[in-house]
Every structure is written in C-alpha cells, then in structure tokens.
Amino acid sequence: MSHTPSRESSNNSIKVVARFRPPNTTEIEFGGEPAVQFIGNDSCVIESSIFTFDRVFSLNSKQTDVFDYSIRSTVDDILHGYNGTVFAYGQTGSGKSYSMMGTEIDGPRRGIIPRIVEQIFASILQSPAEIEYTVRVSYMEIYMERIKDLLQPINDNLPIHEDKTKGVYVKGLSEIYVSSVDEVYDVMRQGTASRSVASTNMNQESSRSHSIFALAITQKNMETGSSKSGQLFLVDLAGSEKVGKTGATGQLLEEAKKINKSLSALGNVINALTDGKSTHIPYRDSKLTRILQESLGGNSRTTLIVNCSPSSYNVQETLSTLKFGTRAKNIKNRPKINAELSASELKSQLQKAQSQISLMAEYVAALERETQSWRSGEHVSEEMWATKSSADAAKKSYSAPTTPRPRSQISPPARPNSDDSSEDFLQWENELQDRLTDRETAIRALERMIKESNAENVALTQREAELIEANEKFEDDILKLKQDLGKLQYESKEAQITMDSLKELNAETTADLDITRKQLYELSLQNQEKTERAERRDRRKKEKIRKMANGFEFFSYRDASVADDDLDSSKDLSLSDNKKDWIGEALAALDNDQDIKSGQKSSLKMYLLESREFIYRAEQVLDARIEEIEDQISRREDIEAKLKTLEELTKQFVDDDAVSAARLEEYITSKQIILENMLLDAKRDLGMSISDNRRLRKIIANEERRLSATDRSSSVSSNSEFLAISVSSSSTGVSITPSTSIQTPSATPASPSSSVPSSPTKSAAKFHSMKQQLEDFEMVKRSLMRDLQNRCERVVELEIQLDEMQDINKSMTKNSTASKGQLKRMAFLERNLDQLTQVQRALVDQNAQLKREVAMNERKLRLRNEKVLALEQSLHATQERLANETETFDRKMSQLIERYDDAKMFRRQAEGLGGSSPTSGNANQRIVKPLRGGGLGSSPLTAYLRGGNTPESGRLDSSPIALSSPSVSKRSSWFSRN
Ligand SMILES: Nc1ncnc2c1ncn2[C@@H]1O[C@H](COP(=O)(O)OP(=O)(O)OP(=O)(O)O)[C@@H](O)[C@H]1O
C-alpha cells in the first residue's frame, strides 16, 4: 500500500461540497422562488452572498456526480489506512438522507453509502491476494443526547470512552463483521428499523436524531505481516432548522432543543477550530462532537456535504447552512495512516537505527577526540573537524519512517490538548463516563418508570376521581333514595293511619248504614204492612160490597115464583111503625075485599109486601148511609183539624231540617191534596146521595100519601090503587117519580062486588095494567139497584180511604206529638246519613287513590331498592377493580424494579467479563470474517463478496448485487425495508 504524503500534507482541509435539491411541493405551494444562482462548479450566489466550496452541485446533479467527486477518494483513503468521515448537514428535508442513502439500492438514485459499500468490497476484490481484510460495521444514533446502539437497541445510553490505544470510542457498541454488500445492507436495515423517528411540519419523514454508520476495515499483508486500518464514519445529521419553523411542541420541542444543542456544539467546535485563537476545543460539549472528535481537526479525511433548498421559502436556512459549510471549510485536519509494521520492516528499521547509532557513536567519538585535541592546545585543521553529515544523514534516515502506533486497530487520536492526554486523566474520565452513563441509564429507567408510574398514577387518580365522583353520586343517589324511602315509609304510615281512620269512619258509616237499613227495613215492613192493609182493604171492600149487594139482591133479584109460604113468612118483617100501619091497613083491606079474586089478592099482597120490604130496606140503607156520611163529615173535620196541627208541626220541623220538612211537607201536601180530592168527591157523592135520598123520601111520602088516599077513597074490593113509578135517569143518579099506576102481572078483571063497582072486564084490565106497572117498577128497581151498588162501592172506597187517613193521621199524630225528638233525630240521621254517604264515598275514593299510590310507591320503592342494590354491587365491583389495579400496579412496579436490578447486575457482570453488550444478538455476527483480496475484478470471491456466501459453500453467484428496489421515499427506502 502506498503512502500518499503529498495528499497528507497538501490536502488536510475538510472537503466541503454544497448540494441543492430541486424545489419541493411545499415550497412551490407557498410561492417559493428560485433563490440560488450557480457560478461555475464551486460557487453559488444567494441574496448577493457568494459562497465558494470545493464543489457546488446544482439542482439536477446526479448521485454519481456527488459520489465520484466527493467520496470515491475518501474510500480509497480508508483502504489506505486513513480515517474518514462523511457528514451530511442541512435543514430538514434538504436532501441529507437522499444524498447519503438514496432512494434505491441498485439504480442510479442509490446514495453515497451503498456506493461506498460497493466500492469497498470491489476494492477488496481487486486488491492483492496476500492482503487479508476484515470489515466491521456498527450503527448508532444520538437521540436526545443519548447514544443508542441501533444494532442492539436495548443499549440506548452508551458511554464514550477514550484511551491512548483506541482513541475515542463508544463503549459497548456492537460491531458486526460483514463479508458482503448484502450483509452490510441487512445490518443497515436492522439498524434503521430501530431509529427514533418523528415527522415535523417540514418533512413528513424527518429523522430527529443524528445517525452514525461506521465501517472499520483492517487489512493485513499476510506476507510481510504489516497491517493498516481505516475507519469511516457516515453521519446523517438531524435537521438544522430553527425550532420555530418546525412547529415542534412538547417532546418534539425538547428534541429540537437537544438536537440544536448538538448542532450548536458542532458549530462551536468548528468555530474554535477555525478562529485561530482558541486554545480549547469544546468536543465534550455534546456526544456528537465527542464521537466525531477525530473527524474535526483530528486524524481523519473529512467530507462535509451541505444540503440546501434552492427556494426563497427556505432562504434563511440555506444561508445558515452555507455559512456553516464555509466555516467548516477552514478546519485543518491531520490525517495519518494507521499502520503497523511487519517484523522484517521492524528488523530493517532496527538495523538502520543500529547503524545510525554506531555512526552517531563514531561521530561522538570523533568529536570527543577533536575536543580533546583542542583542549590540549593542539590545532585541528578544518578538514579534520568532525562533521555531522554522516550523523545528519543517519539522523534523517532514522526519523523518516512513521513511528508505529502501539495499537492494533483504529489509530488513537492525537490529543489536541496536551492537558487531556494524561493517561490517568483519561482513565479517570472513562470511569466518570461509565458512572455517568450508568447514572443516566438508571435515571432514564427511573424516569421511564416514573413516567409510566405517573401515567398509571394519573390514570389511577383519574379513575379514582371518577370512582369517587361515581361513589359520591351513588351515595347521593342512595341518600336520596333513602330519603325517598323514609318519605315513602312515612307517607305509607300516614296512609295507614288514614286508612285506619277511614276504616273507623267506614265502620261508623256502616253502623249508620245498618241503622238506616234497619229503618229502611222497617219502612219496607211498613210498606208491606201498607200493602197488606191495602189488600185487606180491598178484601174488606169486596166483602162490604158483597154484603151490601147481598142485602140488595134479596129483593132485587128475587125470583117471581116465590112460594106463598115465603110470602107469609114475610109478614113477620119488621116495618116502621107508621108505614107498617098503612101498608098493613092496605093488606087488611085487600083481605077484606071480596070482589078481588084470591089469585089477584095474593099477587097484590105479595107486591105490597115486597114494596114494603123494599121501602124498609131502602130506608135502612139510607139511614145507614146518612149516618155514615155524617160520620165521615165529622171525621173529615177531625182530619182537617189534625192536618192543621201537622202543618204547624211541619213548620216547626222546617227550621230543623229543611230536607226532612220538605219531604214531609211534600208527602203531607200530596196526601192532603188526595184527601181533599177525596173529600170533595165524598162531599159531592154525599150531596148527591142526600138529594137522592130526599127524592126517594119524597117519592115514598108521595106514594104513601097516594096509597093512603086510595085506600081511603075507594073500597078495597072494587078498586086497587096502582103504584106508578116513572123512572128517569140523570147524570147524577136515578130519580124515581110517581107517574103511572102499576098493575100486577097476575091482575085479572075485577070481580063483581057489592061495595066496589067492579066488573070482570074491568078487573082484568086493571090486573093487566097493574102487571105492566109491576114490570116497569121491576125495571126501575133494577136500575136503582145498580146505581145503589155503584154508590155502595164508592162509599166503601171512601170508607177505606177514611180508614187509611185515620191511620196516617194516627201515625202522624203519634209521630208529631209523641216524638218530635224522634223526628228531629230522624232528620238528623238522614242528614248524617247523607253526609256520611258523601264522606264514605269520598273516603272510598281517597282510599282507592291511596291504595293506588301505595302500590305505585311500593313498586317505586322496589325499583329504587333494586337500583341501590345494583349501585352497591357496582361500587363493590369498582372497589375490587381498583384494588386489583393497585395490586397489578404494585406488581408491575416491583417487576420493573427487579428487571432494573437484574439489568444493572447483568451489565456489571458483562462489563466485568470484557465490556461486551449483554444483549448481543447473533453470535455469528461477532465472528471474524476475514476476506482476502481477489486480485481480479471477476472471480468466485467477487460473487461471494456480493452474495454473502462463504467460498466453502460452493454457492457462488456471479450475478451482480441483486437488490431490486423501486423508487421509494426515505422512510420506505431500500435500507428501511425488512
Ligand atoms: N437532489 C435531490 N433530487 C431529487 N430529490 C431529492 C433530492 N434531495 C432530496 N430529495 C427529496 O427530498 C425529500 C427530502 O429529502 P431527505 O429526506 O433526504 O431530506 P433530509 O435532509 O434527510 O431530511 P431530514 O433532516 O428530515 O431527515 C425526499 O423525498 C427526497 O427524495
């Protein structure tokens, strides 16, 4: 491997290139204009400021352009044993990842990293076969000032150490041996998947962390034994924009501040390195600058790509980025080849040194000899003076080779500050770093735990608050329900009391009702009695009429063929004295009349007897009627008097009880009207009866007079007087007047007699005429009998009515006189009854209503009880859940503490065993995979290197790297796919 001192001496500055991407949609949408002008290959003008860099790539620059100019030589440097660094700096969305990774793996848009990897393995393939290579990769992220091993993400806070042999390194960072391009890509994908990402307003896929992908290549010449090593850092910095523009808040704002802290520390380091007066370079101000300490002003060939937006929309960020690049351009590095000499080389160097030493010893001896001569006063000619030429030459040849570093791997950094280079100090610092990292990790774990606990606490507090609230609500509800329950119980009791009082009232009312019913029963009995009385009255009436009719039948419907014995017996009928005399006289005269035949005589005799009987009976009836009528009149007067008394009493009762009085009055008035009508009828009938009676008496008197006159004027034998009775009907009754003589039907012509001038012809005529008269009389009699029967009926009715009236009168009198108090009591009772009926009805209604309400309230109560029960159950369940949650929380907490303790112990153990990560994943990845140079571009090894197969497997694939990938965006780009 050749050394390139010329480059080493001539090109120690950081190479800075600027790259402008095309404007994006946001810039166009916001009216961004092109703000950059390009001058040549290395300059651009923005807002009148000219920026000159090693190269400026315009909008349409290709990935290969950037790589070929900026990076290809760096890869060569690495393979020559230099350290190298490629930074991508710029605001978010400016194209850093596009430049570093690209959007595809095997196309023209693949970025710098895949091209570097390809070139490394290609160079290895082309290198001489005696050179053996090992390639190790590591991938880390600096996020929130913590170093996270992306290949072992559990190690998220690794310390930075430094020692004289290894220089600055990240302690515990995984290094994976790779032997092919694919293996590198796999590692990159694996690491990228573990990155902490978040989007900002400026770039939806923005990474908020600094990522460092490191490749360490060692090469050993198997023939000479010499070795070289180079390390390449590929750094994709986080966005350099101002915090305000990102719109970040909360966690993002915290991130932005820490990112800015790293970037500003980077700026400070660059300033210190370039201002020419700083004696202290603040590498330790941030993790980023500390790790990249050798890349900035140290042993490294460094390239900085400043990525910019071409739009006026981001012009301030672009200016800031370009200024950063300009400053960085002034940084001077001191790159050196990290080589170790082989034994032969060391031997020859030793021989050279020994010869030098002998030469020098000779020179010293010559000088001593010369000095001795001079001191002894001898003169030494100039030719004899001891010269340094040989010694100088020896000196030069001695000091020319680079002193090998006493280390085997990555070259140790040269300390910029001699103060810090003390080994003790470094050891002390490393210890401090370890402790610091442990503390930070512990703090972080605790913070996480506290955060989780806080979150859980918040959730629990919230839950507790909710539960308390719910509890309070439940308690309120329960209280309310209890109150309601109490109220309902109280109301229920009240209702019970009301019910009891109502029951009592009901009992009283029932008792009153019983009394009333009794009274009603009595009344109904009275009614029954009344009905019975009415029936009795009817019967009596019928009886009376029958009796009366019997009396009249005796003579009115008597058969004409009555035997003489009967007629004779009728002689015994008692007649009134005065009538008996003249009818008796007429009978005697008839007996004495010799002229009248015996048959005629008997007929006339019978007729006379019948007439006498009729008159007698009629007189009796009339007398009885007159008596009765007189009685009736007197009774009527009595009734009227009693009625007056009753009216007075009624008036008195009116004051006491309007209703009873009204009823009574009504009853009495109706009865009065009936009675008055009855009396009027009776009066009228009486009047008629009296007039009829008078007329009858008159007729009888006339008849008697006529009969006596006839008896006196004519002899009994020759002539008979005939009664002639004319009957005329009138509307009021029957009037009987003496109009014609009546002949008996058995009358025969008068027989010759001495005293009475009679002849047989005359007698026959007379007899005939009498017979006719008798027939007429019979008719009149019948009519009279019918009339009499009617009258009798009426009289009987009147009698009965009078009887009733008397009864009523009696009871009323009894009631009115004997028990005014009773009446009052009755009226009071009736009133009470009405009131009680009303009250009872109201109470029954109220009772029903109360029952309904009680039933409803009972239902409500039941419902509420159920609700209370449910609420209590829910409360109980919630309390249980809360207790469970608390228990779970405690358990989790103790588990976390245990895990944390375990992790701490494990870490300590691991560190004690050699500092490797406890969670190292694939042991195979830690196995050294030596690679040998192929010497040719195309060999089985080439395929092996590209395909990742071991040469022994025999599966050599001669095809190029077969990772086809469509053009994808950054987060879904080729390296972030699984
Ligand atoms: N030179 C370019 N040509 C074409 N497209 C580009 C170029 N540079 C960047 N882009 C596109 O711009 C977008 C943003 O680019 P990129 O993600 O690389 O930005 P970034 O600087 O890495 O952002 P962040 O800091 O947020 O990670 C991507 O879609 C990318 O493909």
Q: Is 206 in the pocket of ligand 1 (CB under 6 A)?
A: yes
DSSP structure class, residue 12: -
The distance from CA 896 to its chain's CA centroid, rounded to whole angstroms, is 39
Q: What percent of the chain has pLDDT over 70?
A: 66
4, 80 Cβ separation under 8 angstroms: yes
Q: Give the strand pairing for 49-52 and 176-178.
A: unpaired
The distance from CA 748 to its chain's CA centroid, rounded to whole angstroms, is 132
The distance from CA 852 to its chain's CA centroid, rounded to whole angstroms, is 31
Among residues 81, 191, 239, 933, the one annotated as catalytic is: 239
Q: Is 314 in the pocket of ligand 1 (CB under 6 A)?
A: no
Mean pLDDT of 107-113: 88
The residue whose CA has the least distance to atom 10 of ligand 1 is 95
pLDDT in tens, 332-343: 888 888 877 666
User: In the structure, what pLDDT confidence band is assigned to residue 119 with cuts at 50, 70 and 90?
Assistant: very high
Pick the atom of ligand 1 nearest to 203's CA.
Answer: 26
The residue whose CA has the least distance to atom 11 of ligand 1 is 95
Q: Alpha-carbon distance 167 to 172, whole Å? A: 15
Q: Residue 824: which of 657, 586, 616, 609 has the closest Cα?
A: 657
Q: Is 96 in the pocket of ligand 1 (CB under 6 A)?
A: yes
Among residues 70, 81, 89, 98, the one annotated as catalytic is: 98
pLDDT in tens, 631-647: 877 877 877 787 777 67
Mean pLDDT of 703-711: 61
Mean pLDDT of 166-171: 88
Distance 310 CA to ligand 1 centre (A): 12
Backbone angles phi, psi at 596, to 5 degrees: -85, 130
Of 18-32, 255-269, 426-440, 700-714, highest mean pLDDT: 18-32
Among residues 32, 81, 90, 95, the one annotated as catalytic is: 95
Non-local (6+) Cβ contacts of 665 within 8 A are 650, 654
- 93 in active site: yes
- The DSSP annotation for 541-599 comes to HHHHHHHHHHHHHHHHS--S---HHHHHHGGG----HHHHHHHHHHHHHHHH-SSS-HH
Of the candidate ranges 211-225, 428-442, 877-891, the one whose mean pLDDT is the lowest: 428-442
Of 55-59, 274-278, 475-479, 800-804, highest mean pLDDT: 55-59
Which residue has 């994709």 as its token pair? 236
11, 327 Cβ separation under 8 angstroms: no
pLDDT in tens, 883-932: 888 888 888 888 888 877 877 776 666 555 444 443 344 444 455 667 76
Which of the listed residues 97, 213, 260, 317 should we mutate to test ligand 1's pocket, taking the one with most ligand atoms within 8 A of CB? 97
Helix (H, G, I), strand (E, B) or coil at 535: helix
The distance from CA 667 to its chain's CA centroid, rounded to whole angstroms, is 73
Which runs of consecutive H residues, i.e. helices, occur in 194-314? 243-246, 251-274, 287-291
Q: Is 229 in the pocket of ligand 1 (CB under 6 A)?
A: no
In 10 A of CB 190, how many CB atoms?
A: 20
User: In the structure, what pLDDT confidence band is assigned to residue 205 with cuts at 50, 70 and 90?
Assistant: very low
Of the candidate ranges 55-59, 441-445, 967-971, the one whose mean pLDDT is the lowest: 967-971
Which of the listed residues 19, 67, 98, 260 should we mutate to test ligand 1's pocket, taking the one with most ligand atoms within 8 A of CB? 98
User: In the structure, what pLDDT confidence band is assigned to residue 344 with cuts at 50, 70 and 90?
Assistant: low
Which of the listed residues 91, 203, 975 should we mutate to test ligand 1's pocket, taking the one with most ligand atoms within 8 A of CB? 203
Among residues 15, 96, 148, 601, the one annotated as catalytic is: 96
User: In the structure, what pLDDT confidence band is assigned to residue 30 with cuts at 50, 70 and 90?
Assistant: confident
What are the strands, taking DSSP E only, across 200-258?
A: 210-221, 227-236
Cα three-residue angle 321-322-328, rounded to 5 degrees: 90
- 900 in active site: no
Mean of all residue pLDDT scores within the chain: 72
pLDDT at 660 over 80: no
User: In the structure, what pLDDT confidence band is assigned to residue 62 with cuts at 50, 70 and 90?
Assistant: very high
- Is the pLDDT higher at 719 or at 372? 372
- 473 in active site: no
Total residue length of the chain: 978
311, 34 Cβ separation under 8 angstroms: yes
ipTM, interface predicted TM-score of the complex: 0.98
Q: According to the model, what pLDDT value does residue 92 have?
A: 85
Q: According to the model, what pLDDT value does residue 905 have?
A: 74
Instruction: Report how far apart the first and last C-alpha atoms of the chain are (Å, whole number).
Output: 38
- The DSSP annotation for 754-798 comes to SSS---HHHHHHHHHHHHHHHHHHHHHHHHHHHHHHHHHHHHHHH
DSSP structure class, residue 22: P
- 631 in active site: no
Q: Is 103 in the pocket of ligand 1 (CB under 6 A)?
A: yes
Specify burial of residue 625 (Cβ count, 10 A radius: 0-12, 13-18, 19+). buried
User: In the structure, what pLDDT confidence band is assigned to residue 151 with cuts at 50, 70 and 90?
Assistant: very high
Helix (H, G, I), strand (E, B) or coil at 686: helix
Name beta bridge partners: 618.
none
Q: Is 121 in the pocket of ligand 1 (CB under 6 A)?
A: no
pLDDT at 85 over 60: yes
pLDDT at 679 over 90: no
Q: According to the model, what pLDDT value does residue 957 have?
A: 33
Q: Alpha-carbon distance 945 to 179, whole Å? A: 6
In 10 A of CB 873, how many CB atoms?
A: 10
Q: How many CA atoms lie within 13 A of 642 on its CB side?
A: 23
- CA dihedral (289, 291, 295, 299) in degrees, to 10, reads 130
In 10 A of CB 594, how many CB atoms?
A: 17
Q: Alpha-carbon distance 841 to 551, whole Å? A: 63
Q: Is 321 in the pocket of ligand 1 (CB under 6 A)?
A: no
Backbone angles phi, psi at 229, to 5 degrees: -145, 145
Specify burial of residue 831 (Cβ count, 10 A radius: 0-12, 13-18, 19+). middle
46, 323 Cβ separation under 8 angstroms: no
pLDDT at 241 over 50: yes
User: In the structure, what pLDDT confidence band is assigned to residue 822 with cuts at 50, 70 and 90?
Assistant: low
- 98 in active site: yes
Non-local (6+) Cβ contacts of 353 within 8 A are 398
Q: Residue 338: which of 179, 171, 133, 165 has the closest Cα?
A: 165
Q: According to the model, what pLDDT value does residue 654 have?
A: 54
Among residues 236, 595, 685, 711, the one annotated as catalytic is: 236
Helix (H) or strand (E) holding 960: none
- The DSSP annotation for 342-390 comes to -HHHHHHHHHHHHHHHHHHHHHHHHHHHHHHHHHTT----GGGSPPSHH
Distance 99 CA to ligand 1 centre (A): 8
Task: Say which amino acid occupies 828.
Answer: F
pLDDT at 873 over 90: no
- 667 in active site: no
346, 60 Cβ separation under 8 angstroms: no
- 164 in active site: no
User: In the structure, what pLDDT confidence band is assigned to residue 137 with cuts at 50, 70 and 90?
Assistant: very high
pLDDT at 546 over 60: yes
Which pTM value belongs to this model?
0.48
Helix (H) or strand (E) holding 861: helix 820-913
From residue 379, alpha-carbon distances to 75, 368, 371, 374 in Å are 63, 14, 10, 6
Q: Residue 590: which of 473, 674, 710, 693 has the closest Cα?
A: 710
